[in-house]
Amino acid sequence: MPVSPLDFEKPIAELEEQLLQARALPDGEPDREERVRALEAQLEATRGEIYGRLTPWQRVQIARHPARPHALDYIRRLISDWQELRGDRAFGDDKALIAGLGRLMSRPVAVIGQQKGADVKDNVVRNFGMMHPEGYRKALRVMRLAEKFRLPVLVFIDTPGAYPGIGAEERGQGEAIARNLLALSRLRTPIVCAVIGEGASGGALGVGVGDRVLMLQYAWYCVITPEGCAAILWRDPAHAPEAAAALKLTAEDLLSLGVIDEIVPEPLGGAHRAPIEAADHLRETLHRHLEELASVSSDELLERRYRRYRGVGAPAVVQT
């Protein structure tokens, strides 16, 4: 998908266009090389300045970029021998949730991923990444399968929240999320979660209880969307930028509070600008954490998981 610039990226886009035009000049054009070098230096400086002082709201915009890689993009890049599993064995298959088995660098794993669409039509099919109760029950079914066969679980979090529709409520949305929270806290196999885009409310937490929680550099993770918070506090979603700043939803904020364990670096400007590089960074980080957890006994794993969540907000207490 073409990478469209966000509003605050327009100075970068203009310089990129000028650089393309300069490079397209004939080789014999006077001052061509000098002009190209000057524009390259100016572009690098402008990128560093803009991305070095991003506001929380600008990070939210990057996390929502339509070209940003989603769960299936990472699964296709990172997981070999992929076999998707569908359905919750009770109602149906929720396409906002991808689940299955495969291998990460030869290690057998179970994979759970919240999936947004690549375009408008696909987003309708995927319900814009908002899961129904059957999605949470499918995730739990696969996690139980992982526990039975002693497979670690990888979770890719990317959702604006659980689906709040009438049908979802009728089928027990709140109960499904609550049951997952309880079950994940007791699951006797390693769980590594990675927030790859948006992580909002119980919609994210319903699959996000883990021994390690990682977060991509430009992702966000919070109890509510900035627009939802603004609608409650100011009764006006236009205050979303103020809400984003107050919610402490950036990776750096959450690392300092002990909510996440590590920030996974992204290419300058976001994962959508160099998706292969972003996936490679994530692979290395996931593999390292799985290696560290592989030797931990089930009893110790549960005890550490309990202490981890009891220590959120007081990082000095957390022992992982």
Q: What is the pLDDT of residues 228-278, one digit of tens each?
A: 999 999 999 999 999 999 999 999 999 999 999 999 999 999 999 999 999
Whether the Cβ atoms of residue 180 and residue 203 lie closer than 8 Å to each other: no
Q: What is the mean pLDDT of residues 143-165?
A: 97
Which range of residues forms the domain containing residue 47? Answer: 7-53
Residues 125 and 108 in one domain: yes
Task: Dig out the tokens for 190 from the structure.
Answer: 């390693």
What values do phi and psi take at 212, rounded to 5?
-135, 135
How far is the C-alpha of 320 from the C-alpha of 307, rounded, in Å?
8
Which position has the higher pLDDT, 40 or 320?
Answer: 40
Task: Please count the structural domains in the chain.
Answer: 2
What values do phi and psi take at 24, rounded to 5?
-80, -10
Residues 180 and 213 in one domain: yes
pLDDT at 317: 47
Which position has the higher pLDDT, 98 or 25?
Answer: 98
183: CATH: 3.90.226.10
pTM of the model: 0.92
Is the pLDDT at 320 greater than 60? The verdict is no
Residue 1 included in any domain: no
Residues 95 and 226 in one domain: yes
* Tens of pLDDT, residues 291-318: 999 999 999 999 999 999 998 887 544 4
